[in-house]
Structures are given as structure tokens and as C-alpha cells.
Structure 1
Amino acid sequence: MPHTSLWLLPPPTHPLHSALTTLISHTLPALLPLESTAATLSPHFFAPHLTLTSDILPSTYGADPQAWLDSLPFPAGEEVQVRFERVVAGDVFVRRCYVKVGIDGVRGLARVARGWGVSEGRGVEEKTEDWLRSWERGFGPHVSLIYGSVSIDEDALERLTRVVEEAGVKLSGGKSGSEVVDGSDGGGWTGGVVWLVPTDRPIAEWKPIAVREL
């Protein structure tokens, strides 16, 4: 991904942090060779996260990335509601398989991340709103499970979905969210931790240079 990104991670004590980490780093990579006869996928290990925006230039946060991250006018943690919908197979390396997330609960946080991170520090402008609408129409907010180059067919997707649900991740199926009462039942989380991550480096080097708890 170009330049630097802002990620939202589940709180470190939330059960989903451990469940998603295990899925990404162990459970799903163990299944990948069984899901593809074309090639064996090499697993990529990364922290469980929802990308709020990429394309942040290093000049935006300058020599003190922590001070910059701390200055952003993020909404209060209880206003940030990550709610899972369904598992999706994509056609882009970093979106090969992911859990789609409802946009309503993260729109405000993403608006600030994009507006201050990419609009040259001038905050939320019309182009930020345009980006949010385009994001929603496209792949939208999501939590990646698999990075890779080999396509995942419908049978493999069904199997992966079962494994994800067996790990304790509750999916609403993309409905209104009424089935997911709160973030404590595996259907998502409230608040979380924001990482500022230089994602123009190799995946193994995707580490935060600033961290902020909501």
C-alpha cells in the first residue's frame, strides 16, 4: 500500500484480537494449500486491523508521528462500532479474503483519518466526503484475513467462512445489524486502538510508528 496508513485494531484485551490473530497467522494459512490446486499460497502475517485510510505522506506527520496522531479529532471510543457482516473473497492481493464491516459505525473515524491524513492537514473537505461515498460503493471497510495471489472460489469461500465462524467470529450476513446487539459477542468491537503504519515497506515490516487508544 502506498505511503503510510491508519489502522483500527480491536482492543488488545478483546477476545476478537486473539481470535483474529490466530486465524490470520495459523488457522487459515494451514488451509490455504488445500484450497488451491494451482499453487501453494505463502502466508503473510499481519496484525488484525481495519484500514481507515492509506496514502498518508510522511511529510504530513513529520518528525513526531505520535504528536500528530494524538492531535487528530477522533470521535470518542464508544462512538466507534465495528460490526461484522460477511466473509468476502476479493480479486486484489491485500483483499484476497476479508470480513466486510458495516460502514455506519466507522464512518466518523474514517472521515477524520482521511480528512486530516490525506487532505494535507486541512481537515474534512468535500473530496473527503466523495472518497467516503466511493469507499462505501466499492470494497468498503473490512478486516483482512488472507493476502495472496491465488483466487478463492465459492466452495473455498464457504469453507473459510465456516472456519471463521467456528473461531468465534459472528457474522450478521450484511443485515441491519439487529442480530448483533453489541461488540462483546464476537460480532465486532467498540472503540479500539489506532496505529500509524508505514505500509510502503515489506509486509513483514508493517509495524506502528505511533499508537493511540480510543
Structure 2
Amino acid sequence: MPGSSLWLVPPESSELYRVCHELILKQVPSACLVDQPTHFTPHITLTADLMLQGLEGSTAQQWLDRLTLPYGETLRVPIREVEVGRVFFKKITMRCEKTSGLCELAAMCRAACVDGLGEAGAMKWVEQSYLPHLSLMYSDLPPDEVQGKMIEVNKEIQEAKQRNPGSTSTDGGAIWLVPTYKPIAEWQPVAKRELSGAEWEWQT
């Protein structure tokens, strides 16, 4: 994947984060008979393909700290239906509702990261192209093969939620700046910024 990305990540101490991470690391790939799953952090991409390779260490943190974010509005993040996608990074996802707060956040991030786009261009991108989701599996498996495993996948998701009733909602989280131009094994944040106003609702 070219460039860096801005991710919205649930609180790492939350049950929602832990349960989603377990689904990614083991339960969903196992339901799809994948022996060596790709490991990654549960997240919603706010915007990607950012040409920010020069940002490292304190410079990256300063850049993220200066980023203008929406002020005052509660950021609702409803996680909804499970879907099978055609591309590697979206082979199994949970679609997220495009709430006004999430759209505004994504637009402000996009406008700040794409030279010459501006606020109007960023909102047009959100309306026409932005499809927020939380991925559960990266894979090259054919979509039809994955679709045939969705009864098992949904069973794993529901059983995980039942075992962990506190995972259905949480508050807070953070924006991560991640160098997604590197190999997936190196997808670690070079900067983080807390986002206390986020309200996560896992409705799958």
C-alpha cells in the first residue's frame, strides 16, 4: 500500500479492542481454514496514501498534534454488518456507519493530508469514495470461497461477543499515524493522538 495512513483505533485497554484483535489473530482466519493469518491492529482507516515518509519520531508526533480535528461533537462509531470483499485488505470487514462525526473527522484528515484538496474536495471524497470499515481478515482467498465460510465466521463473532458482553461499546480511542508503505509486519504507529470523544457501538 503506497504512503502512510491515519487510523482510528479503539482504546487498547478496552474489551472491544481485545475481542476484535482475537478475532483477527485467530478466530476468523480459523473459521476460513487459514493457517497463517496476517496480523494487524483493529482499526478504521480515516484516510490513506499519504506521502509522509519523511515523518519519523518527534517530527511525526508534532505533525499529528497540530492536525486540526472536529471540536465539540460526539464522534459515534457504529460497527455494523459483516461483509466479504474482493481485495486483499477487505476480504472480511465489519462496515461502519457513516455518521456525521466520522465523516467530518475523515474529511478534515483528508484535507490536511492531500495538497490542494481543500475542505470542499475532502467532503466530496467522503461522500463519493469513503467506506469506513473495520477489517477482520486480510487474504488472497477467492471471495466465493470466503463467502462459503461466513456462517462459521458469524458464529465466531457472536460467540466472542457473548463471552465478552463488555465488548459491545466503549468510549475513547486514538488516531494513529502508520507507515503503511512498509511491509504489514512493520505497521506500527509512528505517532498517536488521543481522541476522548469517540463512542464505539458494536452492533454486528
- What interval of TM-score do these two structures reach, taking the shorter chain for normalisation? 0.7 to 0.9
Counterpart of 2:48 (choices 42, 54, 61) is: 54
User: What is the CA–CA distance in structure 1 between the aligned matches of 2:54 and 2:113, rounded to whole Å?
Assistant: 7
- Any unmatched runs of 5+ in structure 2? 196-204
1:60-93: per-residue Cα shift (whole Å, max 9, x none)? 8587111110011213586222101110000000
Counterpart in the other structure of 1:195: 176
Counterpart of 1:81 (choices 76, 85, 99) is: 76
User: What is the CA–CA distance in structure 2 between the aligned matches of 1:109 and 1:191, rounded to whole Å?
Assistant: 14
Counterpart in the other structure of 1:16: 16
| Conservation of the 8 A alpha-carbon contact between 1:60 and 1:117 | no
Indicate how the Cα distance of structure 1 residues 87 and 103 shifts in structure 2: closer, same or farther if over 3 A, else same: same
1:104-163: per-residue Cα shift (whole Å, max 9, x none)? 141121111111012x2x674222111101225xxx100000000112443312321221
How far residue 185 of structure 1 moved from its aligned partner, in angstroms, is: 5.5
User: What is the CA–CA distance in structure 2 between the aligned matches of 1:60 and 1:142, rounded to whole Å?
Assistant: 28
| Conservation of the 8 A alpha-carbon contact between 1:9 and 1:194 | yes
Counterpart in the other structure of 1:166: 159
| Conservation of the 8 A alpha-carbon contact between 2:16 and 2:166 | no
| Conservation of the 8 A alpha-carbon contact between 2:19 and 2:167 | no
Counterpart of 1:133 (choices 102, 110, 127) is: 127
| Conservation of the 8 A alpha-carbon contact between 1:3 and 1:58 | yes
Report the TM-score, using the length of structure 2 for normalisation. Answer: 0.83
How far residue 187 of structure 1 moved from its aligned partner, in angstroms, is: 4.1
Q: How many residues align?
A: 189
Counterpart in the other structure of 1:72: 67
SS of residue paired to 1:167:
helix
Counterpart in the other structure of 1:174: none
Counterpart of 1:116 (choices 112, 117, 122) is: 112
| Conservation of the 8 A alpha-carbon contact between 2:10 and 2:172 | yes
Give the AA of the match of 2:6.
L
- Any unmatched runs of 5+ in structure 1? 34-39, 170-183
